[in-house]
A and B are shown apart, each in its own frame.
Chain A
């Protein structure tokens, strides 16, 4: 029996002027898995992710969510389809509080006249929900009202991961969530990613950090020159073979199936 695909792409093409960023890329994400996405610089990882998350519109190709064809024009379209994306470096507004970052773009309003007519925010409910949720994910933070810029790098990334996971219904795409973090903080985020999967979501993890990818990924999608060249099983393929495939030094057919 083939596993259910929550997110799928076929033959995605994207040109930037004369540069071909994606040259017929395919993509398959199964329900409840962590899919590692690796590739050298310029392999088209970011462009693929942007196409899947609605941040850009591909020139050609098809995208399916739960088997149904979709066309994303904006990030909001993808979000409505249950796909959340956590972008590298861009995820949080440093001067705003943790609560505000968690609810950015989908703030809760007070019930009744205050909320409907005056559009007053329900700060208390947002605070309560944030606190409960961060606790559930095991992110220990004293005050949810402090500005994100006062947090450590790992905590900050924790907020970003938590935010994308909180609102995703199907898929969370994470672009380099462990970049620029120390060993301990990196592990904290990896744990968090596992917990997100265990909540039933599918996760796409883009990373240059091979040990991190091999530690948490269930399968690994290898991108090269704008295409998908292989999907590897991290339990059966070594890290050095994966890198060899990624850089073109090894033909994927030489790998153990």
Chain B
């Protein structure tokens, strides 16, 4: 129980701390900035959660997202494709990368860590080559709509943040209320047992990596909407931040344990720390330091609680 509530308490504690340090922190404007900053990482973290729940990890997430952003902006700008088609092609590209990851993990039985370390580099190289390492500007409005804001109770909320929240609701529903979702947990918790129970474990894994790809594509769309450009160097911070968000949220790297909504909490924790420390005038190097400590703390908690659980069973 502490495992699920802990991150939420940490988030509340962090908010209280920063609110006491900076008057601006709890203003509606600032909180909407936090949400806006978190939305890209948050959506990547949904895909990452799925992968980590199967006891895998996707190191390629940010780079695949960058590729998706380049594909959609380049098609829209250079080839004048309608926005909807360009977006679909971008998501298609990220889904394809997810499928490659999934096929390498399931067919060749390679460890996800190594597979995605490989595709991380491949996706980065393809992105640079395809874009000539140039940022794509003059992106048509169709691709940046989700970056627009609407007024809510005196503060502005970006549509993209709503998209993120909606995706979390859908993912949480699917994971907890459908057989496919429970199979993701079963495969992560006991792959051989799941297979012997008649679950098509290979298909579950492939599906998870492809859905993760879809998430990275949607994150790419949010990233383009937020920055207004197609950036070949996007996703580099988000790559590890998404993993951090999942782990800080309390999902176990050993698979089968965790909740997708905790990853939202994890993403918010990382975002709040970043924002709060900036408001306090702490330099970004220290922000990285704090993030690093958070990750180690989260993994240590996971390990510790597992050890306690195991001691209980013998």
Least CB distance from A210 to B in Å reads 25
With A90-B192, A90-B193: A95-B185 Cβ-Cβ less than 8 Å: yes
Residue on B nearest A119 in the bound complex, by CB: B178
Q: In the bound complex, how far is the Cα of B193 from the Cα of A149, in angstroms?
A: 14
Residue on B nearest A109 in the bound complex, by CB: B179
Whether A87 contacts B179 by the Cβ 8 Å rule is no
A107 touches B (CB below 8 Å): yes
Q: In the bound complex, how far is the Cα of B312 from the Cα of A150, in angstroms?
A: 7
Whether B198 contacts A121 by the Cβ 8 Å rule is no
Q: In the bound complex, how far is the Cα of B176 from the Cα of A118, in angstroms?
A: 12
Q: Which of A98-106, A131-139, A189-197 contacts B (4 or more CB under 8 A)?
A: A98-106
Whether A93 contacts B189 by the Cβ 8 Å rule is yes
With A94-B190, A109-B179, A119-B178: A55-B196 Cβ-Cβ less than 8 Å: yes
Least CB distance from B168 to A in Å reads 17
Interface string of A63-97 (1 = CB under 8 A from B): 00000000000011001000001010011111110
A57 touches B (CB below 8 Å): no
A120 touches B (CB below 8 Å): yes
B195 touches A (CB below 8 Å): yes
Whether B256 contacts A104 by the Cβ 8 Å rule is no
Contacts of B182 in A (CB 8 A): 96, 100, 104, 107, 121
Majority DSSP secondary structure for residues of B touching A: helix
Residue on A nearest B193 in the bound complex, by CB: A90
With A95-B257, A149-B313: A105-B198 Cβ-Cβ less than 8 Å: yes
With A119-B178, A120-B177, A149-B309: A96-B189 Cβ-Cβ less than 8 Å: yes
Interface size classification for chain A: 20 to 34
Interface string of A103-129 (1 = CB under 8 A from B): 011110100000000111101000000
Kindly identify, within residues 135 to 192 of chain B, every residue whose CB is under 8 Å from any CB belonging to chain A.
177-180, 182-183, 185-186, 189-190, 192
Q: In the bound complex, how far is the Cα of B200 from the Cα of A104, in angstroms?
A: 12
Least CB distance from B262 to A in Å reads 14
Whether B198 contacts A76 by the Cβ 8 Å rule is yes
Q: In the bound complex, how far is the Cα of B182 from the Cα of A119, in angstroms?
A: 12
Whether A95 contacts B256 by the Cβ 8 Å rule is yes
Q: In the bound complex, how far is the Cα of B185 from the Cα of A123, in angstroms?
A: 16
Partner among A96, A100, A106, A118 whose Cβ is within 8 Å of the Cβ of B198: A106
Q: In the bound complex, how far is the Cα of B309 from the Cα of A113, in angstroms?
A: 39
Whether B192 contacts A93 by the Cβ 8 Å rule is no
Least CB distance from B144 to A in Å reads 32
Contacts of B189 in A (CB 8 A): 93-96
Contacts of A118 in B (CB 8 A): 178
Please give me the 3 A-B residue pairs with the lowest Cβ-Cβ distance, nearest first: A105-B197, A93-B189, A105-B198
Query: What is the interface of chain B, defined by CB distance below 8 A to chain A?
Result: 177-180, 182-183, 185-186, 189-190, 192-199, 256-257, 309, 312-313
Subset of 7 A-B contacts with CB under 8 Å: A90-B190, A90-B192, A96-B186, A104-B199, A105-B186, A119-B178, A149-B312
Add 4 more A-B contacts to A90-B190, A95-B256 (CB < 8 A).
A79-B198, A94-B190, A95-B189, A96-B185
